[in-house]
Chain A
Amino acid sequence: MREFLASIHYGAWVLPALLLIPLAGALIIVLQSAFSRDDSSLAAAPSARWIALITFLLEFAVSLGMWWAFDPGTVAWQFRVTHWWIPAWGASFDVGVDGISLFMVLLTTFLMPLSVLGGWTSVREKVRSYYALLLILTTGMIGVFLALDLLFFYVMWEVMLIPMYFIIGIWGGERRIYASIKFFIYTFLGSLLMLVAILYLWLHSVDTVTLSNSFSYDTIMQHAAFTSRAALWLFGAFFLAFAVKVPMFPFHTWLPDAHTEAPTAGSVILAGIMLKMGTYGFLRFALPLFPGAALTPWVRDTILTLAVIGIIYGALVAMVQPDFKRLVAYSSVSHLGFVMLGIYALTLQSVQGALMVMINHGISTGALFLLIGMIYERKHTRLIDAYGGIARVVPMFAVVLTLVSLSSIGLPGTNGFVGEFLVLVGSFKTHPWFTLFATSGVIFAACYLLWAIQRILFNKLDKPENALLRDLNARELVIVAVVTVAILWIGIYPAPVLRRMERSAQNFVQVVTSSPGARLASAPETGGSR
């Protein structure tokens, strides 16, 4: 397989291709709508759905090649492509992949076809623009994960934001306007501060070759010079932008609204991929660029406390939610609290655990949202109390919902456990007390999900209309099969995934812990020898 990929110079064109395929798909849909006069309701434009699905499957196939072509041995950027974008400013189209971003991209391309297949019949009107927006959104997301140029990263960050705003705003639930505006302003506020920080960095980093300021990640890592006070402010700016996205405890209130009001595909993407932007940001930008600021005791302790509060608070509030989607949304707050704990514990196990939780959360919460979408299409209500005792009526749905919930709780043998165990084992070495409280989150996770499942699947079948629910049809069975395989495979044999991310995680820990002081004295940075 590797020879075949090398023969077609896979490394040279794969990343730009990953960015362009969705755009091409979107273009086709838009052009197609330009020629046909009729309105774009579902009946009139079935092709839009199929174009989107085929594009996403093609995208997944192309990205799957990276799984084999990726060389786990080195730390350097792989499949790197660099072209001048705005030479005057020193901004370039610079994309590359390493152990951390590889799986984020694979997760994105894995979840997109599932979310389109999942939301197959949920969107009825303005179908063409819906699928075009989804495609553009994918480019934005993959762009964020691949960007090695800060300006390109920021542009992709905004490109990702706008389609999601429309997806929630137009095709959402009842309070969609409120939710989408809140989502947009929350994220936009954070990212503006980040832009200021990026510009500050740009000013203070001179490219040795072109002797001008440059946005490139490596130059900034090596040559950016700023005082420790400035580093603190810069870290604060980056922290705010990413904390909103993670979402960490005080900045999380946009998440339940955005999730409950988003259509099925929207909430799958929101939970599965967009929440990882925040943690990816910490892993790529916030910590490596300002290790000194990040590791000042009071900063580290506040972040860790926020993470642990997030875990317990998310779980407790999830327990009492009447709406199942809000419950899963709050559970995401809890899961990503684990990721932040893992990142900040800075041991190899905890960082790899954090990456695993990011992947597993994407799969299991994405699957949960798909399942909620399926039951929502049948009964058009997300309230837990509207259901009861439907396990006998829809047995296949019941089995899968139980399995996915168990993976979300972190039952050993499923993928949830691998991530959580590594995070907790790793962070126990450096922060035992924080981990002690975080582990209690494992109990609350069992409480809220099992209680919800019991109220939905088991108990008395007292509502007669529930007895007429149809079980999963063929399309849904395909999704469910794919998700189950993913859950069990990563649960039982995660070694290849862990092996690929090990070198990058090791390098991340080494960069952040080894040189908090050096970054400030504007001496060339030793660690980041990408």
Chain B
Amino acid sequence: MHPLAGSIAELVWLLPILPLIGFVINGAISLFTSFHAGPADPSAAHGEHDVAHAGHEAPDTHDEHAAPKRAPLHAIVTIVGPLVLLLAFGLGVAIFVAMPSHMATPFVKTFFAWMPVGTDLPIHWAFQVDQLSVMMVLFVTGVSALIHIFSVGYMGDDPGYARYFAFLNLFVAFMLVLVLGASYPVMFVGWEGVGLVSYLLIGFWFNDKANADAGTKAFIVNRIGDFGFLIAMFLIWSNVGTLDFSGVAAGVGSLPAGGPLLTTICLFMLLACTGKSAQIPLYVWLPDAMAGPTPVSALIHAATMVTAGVYLVARSSFLFSLSPVACLTVAVIGAVTALFAATIGLKQWDIKKLLAYSTVSKIGYMFIGVGVGAYVAGLFHVITHSFFKALLFLGAGSVIFGMHAAYHHTHSTEDAQDMRNMGGLRAYMPLTFVMMWIATLAISGIPIFAGFFSKDEILGSVIARAADSTLADVHWLGIPGSAVLYAVYVLALAGAFLTALYMTRMMLYTFHGPNRTGVEEQAHLHEAPPLLTFPVVVLGVLSVLGGIINLPAFLHLPAGWTGALDQWLAPVVGDATLHVTHGVAAETPHEVALVGLAIVVAIAGIVTAFVKLKPAALVPKRDAQPATGFERVLENKYYVDELYDRTVVTPVVAVSRSFLWKGIDAGLIDGVLVNGSAWFMRGLARSGSWLQTGQVGAYAWAIVIGVLAVLGAFTLR
């Protein structure tokens, strides 16, 4: 009898259902209000107003008509949205509390059969409660609750308010299904569900083509990732025979370790992760995803959804640990993405785009962590990253909220998100300024902050495994494993330096130096309302204290404190981690020196930023000259989007239009075969009719010729 059998864990189905109920209520309200607003919906008539805020962050239309619609419905949505999240968080905490400390086997709760086909593919709706899933549940519902509260203030007067909260609740529901799923198909439901909701939320202000394009692009790129997930599932099922995590974990021993099959499964799973977590080949959708509201970017594209890839690798650690080549690929992709995204981040002017590239880079770190087999380090970085990245986005949201209010009052059409229009906001937004500095220090990896502990643990684990692990023994594309891991370490360090650089650059341009918003706007620049600043403060606190979750050993603290997360996740990923390091706990050679190096690198990044950058020299966006040379390449993100567009999208569309449709379908099959045969018959008939001259003499001749032929036949016989 499983220890959790009778306990609160039985209610685990309530976790996704609660946000789902929120979605249903809010969805009904949003449909009800817009359904009865009638075709002449006032906000639709403001078509021209949208043009002013082309493509950028604009809580759609601050038109005066929104005020009267603050009917009770609006209040219901305000209550239902965050309440449902808090309840879910409470239930999560209850389950966390009810869980015994050393629960060896996960508690799998099966509800009803989903796709029972024959005896060899019993797919059921089943949730799995173990340390990993509870940890994810806690941090997902926690961060979501905070962001919901932030959204109440931020999206307050947007006409699509109910619809926004409906989608946000739906997102949390699907995320919980993803995290709690007990088998790959159930996880896949959550996997594509979050993809769907991110499509809906990115294209939230769908009346602007750029936003709708970004949404569709996100869904299709995610779908390419899901293709990998499907193929991985088919490979697992046809070789292992089951798709449940426990079943696959048990059955994977039968496959040849490190063999081509296992590596292919893991590589396809990696393709899925790159799609969802925006890594090298399929990261292009994340920067465009900034077209959605800022809280959405904070929640989905910083804290929760993008970490789904890391969760997948951690959850299938039993597969990855058995195929070192795949693990090395994960680590390499993570490292390359980290550096690549960091370089682009240097020259971005839009504050949200900059944070997007910083997210891509930070997820690269997580992939390094789980890639080298240090699953706990990777997950630890997931948690701490969600704290300070959410804080950065919400801070940016407060800044944009203020800027937008200012520009709105003076009816100017300046871009509320461009750093060149900001500057010197320290005086106007002191609280946000302090919190943003905390987040910047955390993300750069300055000691006492959360970022330092998780990033340092990842870097340490890379070096530990470079020295002695199954990864080091194997060759990756001809290069020995250890060399690859050292290269990964160097890339990671370079990434850390650049991270510190561009984060400090952001702080300097936004908060320090002279204000470039404009004289009359400054009057309206003021601190964000309490609803917005409360979550920011909470996240600030978490960014500072986040480190205590998994304090490193070299601090020689009392027993209970060090490595809390290690012990917590040991039953789930423990043996996979040990397998990678030849069954012995990895310890980093001369660890303190490495930590020192990391700190020096971080501080160097901040100092160079202060020295090199001169915020005073900046000019507002409207009269900034276009950048030249390598700077322009960085600003245009290495032209990767244009490259994809020209090599993949346009040729496929052109080929299918001119060749497949017009060529084969209309031309070959329809033209030649179908209409062609019809034309041939017509021709045949027409030539036949030529014989009917109407002259009797001609018919006589025909008869005579016939007689001659017959007689001829007789004579020859």
What is the interface of chain A, defined by CB distance below 8 A to chain B?
182, 186, 250, 252-253, 313, 316-317, 319-321, 348-349, 352-353, 389, 391-396, 399, 406, 411-413, 417-418, 421-422, 424-426, 428-429, 432, 435-436, 439-440, 442-443, 446-447, 450-451, 454, 457-462, 467-471, 492-495, 498-499, 502, 506
Contact = CB atoms under 8 A, between A and B. Distances in A.
B207 A460 contact: yes
Nearest to A392: B44
A426 B674 CA distance: 36
A406 B195 CA distance: 12
B575 interface: no
Contact of A411 (B192, B207, B211, B656): B192
Given A253-B669, A471-B39, A495 B212 contact: no
Contacts of A442: 223, 226-227, 230
B37 to A, nearest CB: 9
Interface string B101-136: 000000000001111111001000100000000000
Interface in B652-672: 652-653, 655-657, 660-661, 664-665, 669-670
A469 B192 contact: no
Contacts of B199: 450
A494 B115 CA distance: 6
Contacts of B113: 495
A393 B237 contact: no
B192 A316 contact: no
Interface string B520-532: 0000000000000
Interface in B208-233: 208-209, 211-213, 215-216, 219-220, 223-224, 226-227, 230-231, 233
A146 B199 CA distance: 44
A502 B118 contact: yes
Given A459-B209, A469-B39, A316 B118 contact: no
Given A424-B230, A506-B118, 19 more contacts: A186-B674, A250-B669, A253-B665, A316-B655, A316-B660, A317-B660, A320-B657, A394-B39, A395-B30, A412-B189, A428-B234, A447-B220, A460-B207, A461-B44, A461-B207, A467-B39, A467-B45, A493-B112, A495-B112
The 8 closest A-B pairs by CB, nearest first: A458-B206, A458-B212, A428-B234, A316-B656, A320-B657, A412-B189, A446-B223, A495-B113
A396 B653 contact: no
Contacts of B45: 467
A254 to B, nearest CB: 8
A317 B115 contact: no
A396 B33 CA distance: 11
Contacts of B220: 443, 446-447, 450
Contacts of B670: 253
B219 to A, nearest CB: 6
B588 interface: no
Given A411-B196, A459-B209, A349 B117 contact: yes
Contact of A412 (B116, B192, B215, B235): B192
A399 B44 contact: no
Contacts of A392: 34, 41, 43-44, 207
Given A392-B43, A412-B193, A493-B112, A422 B230 contact: no
A412 B199 CA distance: 15
Interface in B625-661: 652-653, 655-657, 660-661
A424 B234 contact: yes
B369 interface: no
B121 A349 contact: yes
Contact of B188 (A182, A317, A412): A412
10 contacts: A319-B652, A352-B117, A396-B31, A428-B238, A454-B206, A458-B211, A458-B215, A467-B39, A493-B112, A506-B118
A321 B661 contact: yes
Given A412-B189, A458-B206, A459-B207, A495 B116 contact: yes
B223 A470 contact: no
B656 A451 contact: no
A435 B196 CA distance: 24
Contact of A422 (B31, B115, B223): B115
Interface of B: 30-31, 34-35, 39-41, 43-45, 47, 50, 112-118, 121, 125, 185, 188-189, 191-193, 196, 199, 203, 206-209, 211-213, 215-216, 219-220, 223-224, 226-227, 230-231, 233-235, 237-238, 652-653, 655-657, 660-661, 664-665, 669-670, 674
A342 to B, nearest CB: 12
Nearest to A321: B661
A317 B216 contact: no
B216 A418 contact: no
A189 B34 CA distance: 52
B24 to A, nearest CB: 12
A395 B36 CA distance: 10
Contact of A499 (B116, B212, B215, B664): B116
Contacts, number: 165
Contact of B206 (A349, A391, A399): A391
B656 A317 contact: yes
A353 to B, nearest CB: 8
A128 B628 CA distance: 73
Contacts of A494: 114-115
Contacts of A428: 234-235, 237-238
Say whether chain A's binding surface is mostly helix, strand, loop, or mixed: helix
A312 B212 CA distance: 25
A312 to B, nearest CB: 9
Contacts of A396: 31, 35
A75 to B, nearest CB: 15
Contacts of B233: 425
A413 B44 contact: no
A348 to B, nearest CB: 5
A313 B188 CA distance: 26
A425 B44 CA distance: 46
B227 A319 contact: no
B664 to A, nearest CB: 8
Contact of B44 (A429, A467, A502): A467
B39 A393 contact: yes
Nearest to B661: A317
Contacts of A440: 227
Contacts of A439: 227, 230-231, 234
Contacts of A391: 206
B203 to A, nearest CB: 6
Contacts of B116: 495, 498-499
B610 to A, nearest CB: 44
A250 B670 CA distance: 10
Contacts of B188: 412
B216 A450 contact: yes
Nearest to B225: A443
A528 to B, nearest CB: 21
Nearest to B186: A412
B537 to A, nearest CB: 36
Contact of A320 (B121, B208, B231, B656): B656
Contacts of B30: 395
A443 B227 contact: yes
A24 to B, nearest CB: 39
Contact of A421 (B115, B125, B208, B223): B115
A205 B500 CA distance: 84
Query: Which among A439, A446, A462, A498 has the highest number of chain B CB atoms within 10 Å?
Result: A446
A451 B216 contact: yes
Nearest to B190: A412
Nearest to B654: A320
A502 B223 contact: no
B238 A389 contact: no
Query: Which among B40, B224, B238 has the highest number of chain A CB atoms within 10 Å?
Result: B238
A413 B115 CA distance: 11
Nearest to A501: B117
A413 B170 CA distance: 13
B669 A413 contact: no
A393 B30 CA distance: 13
Nearest to B209: A459
A470 B117 contact: no
